[in-house]
Amino acid sequence: MKAFLEVLEWSEHYKPFQVVKRRVLSRYGLLGSRYDRVFTAILYRLYRMQGLLDRVITERTGLDPGGLPAALRQALRLAVLLALSSPGVDRVFVEELVEGVASIIGRRFRAEDARLVVGLYRGLLAEPWRPSGRLDRLEYELLLSRIIIERLERMLGLEEVRRFADAVNTGQPLLGLRVNRLKSTVEEILSELKREGVEAWPSSRVPYHVVYRGSLNYSRFRPLLEGKVVPQDEASAVAGFLLGAGPGELIADLCAAPGGKTTHLAELSENKAVIVALELFSDRVERLVELANRTGTIASIQPIVGDALRASALLPRGRFHRVLLDPPCSSTGAIAKHPEARWRLTPERLRRLVENQKRMLWEAVELLRPGGRILYTTCSILPEEGEEVVAWILEERKDVELVPLEGPYDESPLLKGAMRSWPHRHGTTGFFYALLEKKPQA
């Protein structure tokens, strides 16, 4: 119980929570045990239901979970989760888990906090919580926040939203490795993965990309340590191919860290382009440089610590052949891997994200030379962060036009020529892509 509460508490502070779980359970000697499997199932369910769990806590106790210590907040969430649904766990174990966690909470905080945890659990068993209203019921059924449901329903229709929810809630997301052609081949990497006992196959959509299913120890996987592969989802790896990179070109990556796309552009140019990698945080730049050294692409990469919101003041205007812009976004395309992301988005946070995305895209246009191209991409399923940002720049800037994309994924249902990848259609992360070109001067 102590180990599990520790996982719950520290997974709030460090992401991804899967890494926290492995480290904590390993320290307690529980990694790979039956407890590991049970705790993993509970943990995924907890984060998939987090917003609903917080709502129930507030309704039943009057407390705001956000104002509580992390350990107590997670203990209350666990109590609600296990009262509402116990994924693959028998009731006796559930009772022991709730009481054991409550006991630890009582020792760490106050005795009444322990009683609060147990009381909430028993109260929900006696008087079960039921959603009220259409959106409440859909949130509970689909395990998606209403801000996501409303937007996806308008874009796809409710039946396809159900398929999307099933994909991100029950399917195990496929993992991917981009093969570094400067150092290796797809055949070599497939052979190495087979040696590790991992099921793997070449991507059918993206060149030099390998998809795999199973557990791979990155700290010991030789091709990764030697820079022969870069961990990258298929939908992320396609970005470099959509933008392209040629010898002698000047290219900017405006939100560059951790460097997967930056190093890919350098690789595509055969280390004969100049890739300016702009990143706001110095520690993330250090990670990018480490990856560039490992992949052998550092010779063509110029890392710069700076804000993409001021890109045209930091970099030469009108000089760049290509610009990659993958700005901070809601990450709603990756909720299969990061289930808590579906609940942390609010209308105000979305508004701030979109405002910055528009400003960064404007800055990207300022950097381009006539005939130059921008790839705007976000790991988001929300039209506000994709189609609407691109529609805005096309309206505001008459010197740019949309270059139609013809695969490998599906055309956007809202903007002809733009493209989207979907978890339920393509088995990959949800991404939006739009390729823009600066018109030649008259």
24 confidence band (pLDDT: 50, 70, 90): confident
The candidate with the shortest Cα–Cα distance to 154, out of 348, 387, 338, 424, is: 387
Annotated active-site residue 255? The verdict is: no
Give 313's contacts (C-beta < 8 A, 6+ positions apart).
none
Lowest mean pLDDT among 92-101, 269-278, 417-426: 92-101
Q: Is the pLDDT of residue 10 over 90?
A: no
| 408 preceded by a cis bond (ω within 30 of 0) | yes
Predicted confidence band of residue 20 (pLDDT cuts 50, 70, 90): confident
Judge whether residue 12 has pLDDT over 90: no
| Closest residue by Cα to residue 124 from 72, 56, 74 | 56
Instruction: Identify the residue with better confidence: 44 or 232.
Output: 232
Beta strand pairing status for 320-325 and 410-411? unpaired
Residue 171 clears pLDDT 60, i.e. is over it: yes
Indicate the Cα dihedral angle 363, 376, 333, 392, nearest 10°. 70
**Span 28-39, pLDDT tens digits:** 787 778 777 888
What pLDDT sits at residue 355?
98
Count other C-beta atoms under 10 Å from residue 2's C-beta: 12
d(CA 31, CA 27): 8
Summarize the confidence of residues 138-142 as an average pLDDT.
94
Query: Which domains, ranges and CATH numbers included, belong to the chain?
Result: 2-126 (1.10.940.10), 134-170 (no CATH), 175-230 (3.30.70.1170), 234-438 (3.40.50.150)
Query: Rounded to whole angstroms, how far apart are CA atoms 91 and 148?
Result: 33
* Closest C-alpha among 101, 135, 133, 93 to residue 118: 101
What percentage of the chain has pLDDT greater than the value 70? 98
Segments in 85-145 forming alpha helices (H) = 91-108, 111-126, 134-142
pLDDT in tens, 340-364: 889 989 999 999 999 999 999 999 9
Instruction: Kindly tell me the burial class for residue 132, based on how many C-beta atoms sit within 10 Å of its own C-beta (0-12, 13-18, 19 or more).
Output: exposed
Lowest mean pLDDT among 35-49, 126-140, 170-184: 35-49
Instruction: Say what the pLDDT of residue 18 is.
Output: 76
Strand order in the sheet with 209-213: 199-202, 209-213, 175-179, 229-231
pLDDT at 442: 56
Contact present, 419 and 387 (Cβ < 8 Å): no
Please give the residue that has the higher pLDDT: either 128 or 26.
128
Instruction: Please tell me which residue in 168, 379, 418, 434 is annotated as part of the active site.
Output: 379
Q: Is 31 helix (H, G, I), strand (E, B) or coil?
A: coil
How high is the pLDDT of residue 164? 97
String of DSSP letters for 193-215: HHHTT-EEEE-SSSTTEEEEES-
H helix count then E strand count, the chain? 20, 13
pLDDT digits (tens, 9 = 90+) for 307-348: 999 999 999 999 999 999 999 999 999 999 888 889 989 999
Q: Whose structure tokens read 């592969």?
A: 229
pLDDT score of 162 more than 70: yes
Sign of the alpha-carbon dihedral angle for 361, 180, 411, 385? negative
Report the range of poorest mean pLDDT among 92-96, 106-110, 272-276: 92-96
Tokens of residue 309, six digits: 């919101």
Mean pLDDT of 249-271: 97
Residues of the chain with pLDDT > 90, as a percent, come to 79
Q: What is the pLDDT of residue 88?
A: 59
What single DSSP character describes residue 174?
P
Per-residue pLDDT for 403 more than 60?
yes
pLDDT at 172 over 80: no
**Is the confidence at residue 89, as pLDDT, over 80?**
no
pLDDT at residue 87, as a whole number: 58
Q: What is the mean pLDDT of the chain?
A: 93
Q: What is the mean pLDDT of residues 202-227?
A: 93
Q: Which residues contact 351 (CB under 8 A, 6 or more apart)?
A: none
Residue 375, beta-bridge partner list: 324, 435
Q: How confident is the model at residue 189 (pLDDT cuts 50, 70, 90)?
A: very high
Q: Give the confidence band of 86 by pLDDT, cuts at 50, 70, 90.
A: low
CA dihedral of 389, 394, 399, 404, whole degrees rounded to 10: 90
Q: What is the mean pLDDT of residues 75-85?
A: 92
